[in-house]
Chain A
Amino acid sequence: MIYLDNAATSFPKPKETIEHLTRFVTTVGGNPGRSGHKLSIEAARIIFDAREKLVDLIHAKRSERLVFTANGTESLNLAILGLLDANDHAVTTSLEHNSVMRPLMYLKARCGVEHTVVQCRPDGALDMEALTRAMRKNTKAVIINHGSNVIGTTQPLGEIKRVIGDTILIADACQTIGSVPIDMDRDNIDVLCFSCHKSLFGIQGLGAVYIREGIDPRPLKFGGTGSKSESMEQPDFLPDRYECGTPNTPAIASLLGGLTFIEKEGLGRITARKKALREKLLRGLSGIEHVITYGSRTIDANVPVISFNLTNKLPSEVGYQLNQREIYVRVGLMCAPMAHKTIGTFPAGTVRVSPGYFTTDAEIDHFLEALRLIAEH
Chain B
Amino acid sequence: MPNINVYYVLFHTIHDVLRVEKILKQHGLSYELVPVPRNLSSDCGICLKLHNEIGCLWPLLPDIEVARCVLFDGNEYISVQLP
Contacting residues, chain A, for B56 (C-beta < 8 A)? none
Pair A41/B13 contact, Cβ less than 8 Å: no
Distance in angstroms from A227 CB to nearest chain B CB is 5
Query: Which one, B12, B18, B36, B43, contacts A237 given CB within 8 A?
Result: B12
* B33 interface hit (Cβ, 8 Å): yes
Contact (Cβ within 8 A) B45 A48:
no
A238 and B14 CA atoms in complex are apart in Å by: 10
B34 at the interface (CB under 8 A from A): yes
**Is the CB of A33 closer than 8 A to any CB of chain B?**
yes
Provide the residues of chain A in CB contact with B42, threshold 8 Å.
229-230
Cβ contact within 8 Å between B44 and A35: yes
Looking at the complex, which one of B12, B13, B19, B34 makes contact with A36 (CB distance below 8 Å)?
B34
In the docked arrangement, what's the CA distance between A159 and B19, Å?
Answer: 34
The answer on a CB contact under 8 Å between A228 and B18 is: no
B13 x A35 contact (CB < 8 A):
no
Docked-complex contact B16 and A36, CB < 8 angstroms: no
The size bracket of the interface on A is 20 to 34
Interface residues of A in 200-215 (CB under 8 A from B): none
Q: Using a CB-CB cutoff of 8 Å, which residues 28-64 of chain A contact chain B?
A: 32-37, 40-41, 44-45, 48, 51-52, 63-64
Interface residues of B in 1-50 (CB under 8 A from A): 12-16, 18-19, 22, 33-36, 41-46
Contact B19 A63 (CB under 8 A): yes
B35-A64 in contact (CB<8A):
no
- Chain B residues packing against A (C-beta within 8 Å): 12-16, 18-19, 22, 33-36, 41-46, 65
Please report A residues at the B interface, Cβ cutoff 8 Å: 32-37, 40-41, 44-45, 48, 51-52, 63-64, 225-230, 235, 237-240
